[in-house]
Amino acid sequence: MSVVAQIFVVIAGVFHVVVFAMESVLFRKPSTYRRFLVKDTEVETARPWAFNQGFYNLFLAIGALGGLVWGGDKGHAIALFACACMAGAGIVLLASDRRMVRAAATQAVPPILALVLAAIL
């Protein structure tokens, strides 16, 4: 895998670690839950969902970053599979709520670039 593709894998992985922290650790902060369009009255209902979702993001980040650390064809395959999942989740987010276009793009563009660059370089 090219160095440029690996950079986008790292960007995607780090982004998903940050989202893990927001969803699983910092979700009760108003500035955090409002980013997810959650209202003040819905925080306690949404918190278990956000906690679980945060760990999904952490596991994807571990796949992407861990695959790079592992290296070789197998490690890179794991990293790219994690990127494909990240890209798919971003597309689903956009399809489910158009108001989340910025979040969906932030989530999906780096792993898509990693996939494309890994395929062509």
pLDDT tens-place string over residues 3-18: 999 999 999 999 999 9
Give the separation between CA 30 and CA 22, rounded to whole angstroms: 11
Banded model confidence at residue 112, pLDDT cuts 50, 70, 90: very high
In this predicted model, what pLDDT tens digit does every residue of 62-91 receive, in sequence order?
Answer: 999 999 999 999 999 999 999 999 999 999
Give the separation between CA 118 and CA 26, rounded to whole angstroms: 34
Could you tell me the residue ranges of all domains in the chain? 3-120
Nearest residue to 108 (alpha-carbon basis) of 92, 86, 93: 86
**Is the CB of residue 16 less than 8 Å from the CB of residue 58?**
yes
* pTM reported for the whole predicted model: 0.95
- DSSP assignment letter at 26: S
In this predicted model, what pLDDT tens digit does every residue of 20-59 receive, in sequence order?
Answer: 999 999 999 999 999 999 999 999 999 999 999 999 999 9
